[in-house]
Structure 1
Amino acid sequence: MEKIKYNDKWMYTLIPYGMGFMPFLIMLPLLILKLGGNAIDISYTATLGNITWIIGSFVWGYISDYYDLKKLTILGLLTSGLFVIPMAYAKSVVEVEILYGIWSFFNTALIISLYLIIIKTFAKEMWVIENAKLNFLNTIGYLLGFLGSSALAIYFKVNFLILMTGILMTLSSLLSYYFLPKIENNHKELSWINVLKSFLIKIRIMSKIFNPSFLKISLKKAFDFKNKKIQNMRIILLYTGNFLFYLSYGIILTQYSASLKIYGISDSIILAIFSLGTFSQIISFYFSPRFINTYGKIRASWITLSLRGISFFMIGLSMFLFLNKTYLILSQFVFYSLGGGLAYSIFFTAANVMVLETTKTEKEGSTLGIYETLIAFGFTIGSFISGYMINYTGFPITFIITGILIIINSAIFKIMEEKQK
């Protein structure tokens, strides 16, 4: 299918969404703690959201091959806001869990549609630049949201802040209605029978992927670069590396803000830590295309994963030592900015572009649906085990282990680079 070129001005409509999205995710654990929950409750909430994300990846991945991407994007934005707003008035953790699960399902439609809009409207050689720009603008939204939330947290409770995040997400849906171009999918009419069939097929695929004997054979082939199907082996390593990345990210995203709260840090300072980390992301996203083009996508991936792993190892170590609260706060500002900001942006851009390069024409949505499912499994496992890790080992050891896992993950991309020489 020939690409119809559009400009990328529509990306600016997502800034309000970004202002609401990331602060919402960070404040969700704080809301659960306020309602009387604990680390395991946070873990269960995140796990439920990730399960609905997996289901959404199957469903929306297939639908996106047939459905108007503009409508799909607006649907994702609108429902993201509408299901966040009631959480501000939730009276129990169970209410939050249910609403978050529904929110996560519909938010997947937005994630997949944005990937596809880039694929369908820009030439392949522009994917790095446009993907980086989209991430850059999203991160601008994150920063504005964190700065605003950090200031408002001095005067308002977390419920009010979450209400504001929902309103901001809804605003992006209105802007997208007017500014996002219509992008046609030239496929046959969508059949819900086909959606169900696709869902069942992908369940079989995923069960095969996680079958021990299949993994053993696949990994053996992956390290045999004399194999003629080297591209398939590269994909296996790429997806394995991304799976481990999102598993570790699931632990961090689920519990990091809660850990700071448990250590007695105020909501305002917690959001300020994320503000600085997000500012670091913005700088990193801005320079990521140049960095990736200079060093290559694979090398950029293992370098930044190493930095991220060391940073979260140090975050755990600083909590373990806990000399005093001032020391703890300063260390979080430094190491989260490096690991959660600088390193994250470059890896995220490089990894996403490598995944986009594996998609097949006319079936991009289905391919990305499988990829979204795989990383959702990673998030789900990470979120689920995080509560139990903290319950048995505490926050410091949990983050130290997570840092080590990320460093091990960087070795996968290092091996990819070495074997391609």
Structure 2
Amino acid sequence: MKIFLCLLMSMFFCTCLQSGVVFAEIVTGQAYIENGNIGKANADARKNAMRAYVEEKLGVQVKSTTEVVNNMLIRDSIVARSNGYLLVKKVVSEKILGEIYQVTLDLEASNDLINSIAKEVTAQLQAIDEDSSRNGVHVAIVDEDTKNTALWNSYFTGMLKEAGFRAEINDDVVLYLAQNINNSNDLKMNTEIRRLGRIGDRGSANAIIRGRVGLARKAEKITAHSYKAVAQVNCELIGYDNNTVDVAAGYYYYVAESAEQAEQMAKEVALRTAAEQLSGQALKTHQLEYRGGVHNIKVTLCFRGLNNKASQRALIVDALNGLNCRIIRSGFLPDNTLQLFVHADAYNNVEELKEAVLQQLRSSFPEMIDVIDPSQVGSTKLNFALWGA
């Protein structure tokens, strides 16, 4: 009888290996009950249990930031589609411990399915990198804990790629943000970020997401095996060729068995949420990808040196209408500079528009030049001077 049972167990073990089934495991997840919302805490605790389970299954020895980030993205994809990849065999227990919701699950997954989605995510990221037809976005994220900066930039970039964008890290902006991490003048910073984005090799990018992440509250012990941390994130999607800025900001809690894990995961959840919000907003506002020929370039054009305001304004307006620029408003400044705010949806970027304006108007103003106003560097203004004035 014992021999028969041993043979039976051996056959079952071999069958499991061949089918790729991972033996079920008991995993506990925890979440903070924010504003008394039990339902959200329950869902968060389940996700945290699944996240821990998948991380254990993916647990290869990683040697680089790229490998770490790929595992994070694979884990996120599996948890997001948990119905197809993870089986909750049983809810072992659910309980409330003060301000913590704790759930223990009996989980099972297929090695084959996990390996399949790992290959799928890797192939998707590679395909987007090779797709030259997509417009893109730059990324610049800083953390008060500088050792995390490289990780967060790579992670955020990967999430944008999964959302369908070409994305790359702008190292110049990362350095600028790191040097000005305590600067609260967002208007001045955004102007400088636009300037830095334009002077470098933009590639396909016509926008940048810049962000800061840090701890709003360091981890504190709240039960015998629970630490709670609160992260704060502030990310902005800044168009290089328009004045639009979209914001994703907020506070995010995480509960874990160690203080270090609670702090790290709180930041990760904060950045993941910001990436989801901003990528969705980008698709809606066409800031990153122009869909159906819709462009979103709005820019101010300034013409200096006019000596006959009425007739010269008429020439400039006719020229802009001929360039398919819709004039939203216009007027003269005290120094007789003609200023026009236009919607130029026929152009890919402001540089292309500038060249078109110069070419169109030089028949009427042969000596017209474009000029750089140091006070407006990085802003969405094009400055021109007539007869070299």
| Band the TM-score falls in, shorter-chain normalisation | under 0.3
Q: Which has the higher strand share?
A: 2
TM-score for both structures, normalised by structure 1? 0.23
Greater Rg by CA: 2
TM-score for both structures, normalised by structure 2? 0.24
Q: Which has the higher helix share?
A: 1
